[in-house]
Amino acid sequence: MHEILLDAPLDMHLHLRDGAMLEFVAPLSARDFAGAVIMPNLVPPVDTLERLHRYRAAVATATAGHRFAPYHTLFFRAYNEAELLAARPFIIGVKLYPEGVTTNSAAGVSDIAAAAETFGLLERLGIPLLVHGESHGFVLDREAEFLAVYDWLARSFPHLMIVMEHITTAAAVDLLDRHTNLFATITLHHLIITLDDLAGGLLNPHLFCKPIAKRPADRDALLAAALNGHPKVMFGSDSAPHPRDKKEAAGCAAGVFSAPVAVPLLVDLFAQHNALDRLPAFLSQNAQRIYGIQPPIKQLRIRAESWQVPLQYGEVVPFMAGRTIDWRVVTP
């Protein structure tokens, strides 16, 4: 029977939510991953030390019994040095959302240039800046328009580690090579789908997310970077669960729930492209090197065996619901 082993898969961009949703979805990630970067866009956002500690405790409870390291983040605001020093031992970075660009980002930043003092602090304290890089322009151009901001950030704060989260364009891949302090995460769904899958035929709300899936040439550039194990690119699922009634609705919420299928689908994708030898770089090693983290020792066994993705996990419809995947995570 054909099997492969994966050491310490890491999901460098994950939404776990809170309350009952957290308790339901967290074990699905903790089963397949050795660690994940936990996004802070709760309501209210995780932007105080007290909320951070409360969320850390809730995530620890929800993932108890798993070898799983939650790497927490703070929601960007104008922190002072004392606040950042107090939080630093407990976070992997600070996540910046432009105001209103995506789910639960109402408390985001309206004027990025005006936040320069905080960027300087993060740079001096060695705290990475994770960024949702979209402007408020035409939806297909939002990431492209934001690249000038990344360029400004990378040049103005040369010692600040900047992660372009969930990049979706060939132009963002190109920008990686122009600044040593710029890195990126790429989701699973942006390696597979284009705007056509979302809206080219009958509308599929379960593929609606921010940033929106783009053109085939963009998807191909992302795929090439991942399959080549581009040293500045890390896997980040951006798995973002919303209950089915919030997705199959007028005013559909943005977010694709991919946590339970991410590892087997990545294996499938890399196997199809004869690139399984590059998967460890994309799925673990690059992130360990870039962030300087040592996740728990965890080896995942994946078998060439078909299974059908459930139509729902609880209230949430997963990415590729009902489809057959040819690789399965063998639970120990």
Q: Tell me which residues are annotated as active site.
A: 238
Interface with ligand NCD in residues 37-96 (CB under 6 A):
41
Backbone angles phi and psi of 292, in degrees to 5: 65, 45
- C-alpha span between 216 and 212 (Å, rounded): 13
Position of tokens 């302090």? 181
How far apart CA 54 and CA 47 sit, in angstroms, is 11
Q: What string marks each residue from 228 to 247 as x (binds Zn ion by CB under 5 A) or -?
A: ----------x---------
CB-wise, 198 or 279, nearer to ligand NCD? 198
Q: CA-to-CA distance for 220 and 110, rounded, in angstroms?
A: 32
Q: What secondary structure, in 3-state letters, does 247-286 show?
A: HCCCCCCCCECCHHHHHHHHHHHHHHCCCHHHHHHHHHHH
Q: Which of 52, 160, 182, 209 binds ligand NCD (CB under 6 A)?
A: 209
**In 3D, which of 98, 91, 51, 41 has the Cα closest to residue 240?**
41
User: Residue 103 or residue 285: which is nearer to ligand NCD going by CB?
Assistant: 103
* Minimal distance, residue 207 CB to ligand NCD, in Å: 10
Nearest to 68 by CA among 139, 11, 6: 11
Size of the residue set binding ligand NCD (CB under 6 A): 12
Per CB under 6 A, does 238 bind ligand NCD? yes
Site for ligand NCD in 255-274 (CB under 6 A): 255
**134 forms part of the interface with Zn ion (CB under 5 A):** no
- Least Å distance, CB 301 to Zn ion, is 28
Nearer to ligand NCD, 147 or 300 (CB): 147
Judged by CB under 6 A, the residue of 223, 254, 271, 321 near ligand NCD is: 254
Asked if 162 interacts with ligand NCD (CB under 6 A), we say no
Task: Find the binder of ligand NCD among 190, 206, 210, 247 (CB under 6 A).
Answer: 210
Nearer residue to ligand NCD within complex by CB, 41 or 118: 41
- The partner in contact with residue 263, picked from ligand NCD, Zn ion, none with C-beta cut-offs of 5 to 8 angstroms by kind, is none
Round to whole Å and give the CA distance between 51 and 41.
12
User: CA-CA distance, 262 to 195, in Å (whole number)?
Assistant: 20
* Closer residue to Zn ion, CB minimum distance, 31 or 132: 132
Q: Which is nearer to Zn ion, 103 or 285 (CB)?
A: 103
Min separation Cβ 208 and ligand NCD, Å: 7
Cα distances (Å, whole numbers) of residue 122 to 25, 50, 194: 31, 20, 35
Cβ-based neighbours of 82, under 8 Å, separated by 6 or more: none
Q: C-beta of 304: minimal distance to ligand NCD in Å?
A: 31
If binding is defined by CB under 6 A, does position 298 make contact with ligand NCD? no
Indicate whether 219 belongs to the interface with ligand NCD (CB under 6 A).
no
Smallest gap from Cβ 234 to ligand NCD, in A, equals: 15
Q: Residue 48: CB partners within 8 Å, gap ≥ 6?
A: none
142 is an interface residue for ligand NCD by CB under 6 A:
no
3-state secondary structure of 95: strand
Q: How many Å is the Cα radius of gyration of the chain?
A: 18
Quick check: helix, strand or coil at residue 12? strand
Question: What is the contact surface with ligand NCD in residues (CB under 6 A)?
Answer: 15, 41, 102-104, 132, 209-210, 238, 240, 254-255
